[in-house]
A and B are shown apart, each in its own frame.
Chain A
């Protein structure tokens, strides 16, 4: 019940694999946030961490706590569902705002700095 020392070896190995895979995928997504050139490319990269990274690490948590408490512990599905639902909404609103700002700036440049 307390601590990962009581995990059987197969569960420990599975948890270790899932946690490490999730962390690698999340780091790749965040490196993409640094390396891409424009905002509209950059907005794609962190979704790797919010979908696949969250699914891997929450699955590791499900395996670990289910084996430790010897009953199915499924409340990490809440985090997976929340991540999968909220990330597209938030990033769609953000890209809409960025597009609005870009078009407003471009039309201001066409009209000239003094307006009209």
Chain B
């Protein structure tokens, strides 16, 4: 009974997180300026990282945790690199 509740909650959480990823994608496509698109990318990567964590809880594997950690790191590096590009016009000075 309680395990069934957990499975339903995980499916509902995955649906909500996919909707949140969709919000980030809409902001990437619609964003009026470049900084809006970068912000949408940042949101999308964080939400995808949370979706990977819920997949990890569902399957009971710790492998998903490492993928989520790598995704958080690369999202941060990508956002900072894009912001530096908006500021200067080049990433490495």
Contacts and interface: CB of A to CB of B under 8 A. Distances in A.
Interface of A: 1-5, 7, 9-10, 12-13, 15-17, 19-20, 22-24, 26-27, 29-31, 33-34, 39, 42-43, 46, 49-50, 53-54, 57-58, 60-61, 64-65, 68, 75-76, 78-79, 82-83, 86-87, 89-91, 93-94, 96-98, 100-101
B59 to A, nearest CB: 8
Contacts of B36: 39, 42
B65 A97 contact: no
Interface in B49-68: 49-50, 53-54, 56-60, 62, 65, 68
Interface centre among A16, A61, A86 (most CB of B within 10 A): A16
Sorted nearest first, the 5 A-B pairs with minimum C-beta distance are: A16-B9, A23-B13, A9-B2, A30-B20, A30-B23
B35 A30 contact: no
A60 B62 CA distance: 14
Given A79-B68, A94-B35, A97-B35, A33 B87 contact: no
Contact of B87 (A49, A53, A90, A96): A96
Q: Chain B at the A interface: mostly helix, strand, loop or mixed?
A: helix
